[in-house]
Amino acid sequence: MDNRDEVRAFLSSRRERVGPEQVGLPAYGNRRVAGLRRGEVAALAGVSVEYYTRLERGNLAGASDSVLEAVARALRLDDTETAHLHHLARAAGPAPARARASRNKPPEIRPAIRRVLDSMTGVPAFLRNHRFDILAANPLGMALYSPMITADVELPVNSMRFTFLNPHAQAFYLDWAQVARAAAAALRIASAQNPDDQQLMNLIGELSMRSEPFRGWWAAQDVYVHRHGTKRFRHPAVGELELAFEGLEPVGGGGLTVLTYSAEPGTSSGDGLELLATWAATQGRTSAETKS
């Protein structure tokens, strides 16, 4: 996998955001570059300038874990960024043909996972893959995401396309810019973890062609893991909701993630979820899953 452009853009963008004063270096002289110089990063990481320059030019193949960790410390990378650097290094090396084929093979949704989704009657829940395709959803999950999972659309539907290309997304997400920026950063993580997934690369290319905001946030090289947090929605049937989300990865799930949303009972959002369940029942919404 030739990911030199990705590596070059990521490392240079992280270097440019670290000032010399942040790492205890004097900021004297005419600094013609933003952030640290390559030589300063090399010194902090304990490698030669020539070797670090090779890394930042995109050649991570063969870099040891200890070197990657040293570079991460020098650039003040957080845990997510450090993991991303390791993913980029692994993608730069050779991958067995069997591993490449498995990345594009549709993951099997085990019956137990489907039953878990259906058992979550009090919370919206859905199942997605690493391409952010919604593969299955319980009735309350379908009701919450009714602007995306419309009655006349069969699963899977892609949440990235909805976020960046659907005109209803900015009204649905009260903090659309924050949600969209995090989505682009999460997609970057997925692209590094699945570098040989052509469908994923096609999705990124489509969003880059059709969405100017996506192009800007993609170029920022930010990375984000969708584990937990809060989102605010403006649902067309029940109004505003502020919900906590949790991302749960089933063991042996092949890159699948179960996402759930919840609210404190007795709050306006908790009452809104109860109203949403009533609305879903009147609309006759049932569990949905990908057609095979």
Q: What is the pLDDT of residue 105?
A: 60
CA distances, 82 to each of 5, 28, 67, 275, 285 (Å): 18, 29, 12, 42, 42
Nearest Cα to Cα of residue 250 among 166, 146, 125, 161: 125
Distance, first Cα to last Cα, the chain: 30
d(CA 9, CA 88): 12
Q: What is the pLDDT of residue 22?
A: 86
Q: What is the pLDDT of residue 42?
A: 96
Distance of CA 62 to the CA centre of its chain: 26
Q: What is the pLDDT of residue 74?
A: 95
Q: What is the pLDDT of residue 102?
A: 45
Q: Please list, residue by residue across 266-289, b when 16 or more beta carbons sit within 10 angstroms of its beta carbon and e when fewer do.
A: eeebbebbeebbebbeeeebebbb
d(CA 24, CA 42): 15
Q: What is the pLDDT of residue 282?
A: 85
pLDDT tens by residue, the chain, 292 residues: 578 999 999 999 999 999 888 888 876 667 777 789 999 999 999 999 999 999 999 999 889 999 999 999 999 999 999 999 999 999 887 765 435 544 556 667 888 888 888 899 889 999 999 999 999 999 999 999 999 998 777 889 999 999 999 999 999 999 999 999 999 999 999 999 999 899 999 999 999 999 999 999 999 999 998 889 999 999 999 999 999 999 998 866 678 999 999 999 999 999 999 999 999 888 876 666 665 4
Nearest Cα to Cα of residue 188 among 58, 56, 83: 83
Q: What is the pLDDT of residue 169?
A: 97
Instruction: Name the pTM for this structure.
Output: 0.88
Q: What is the pLDDT of residue 28?
A: 67
Q: What is the pLDDT of residue 60?
A: 92
Q: Domains along the chain?
A: 4-94 (1.10.260), 111-289 (3.30.450.180)
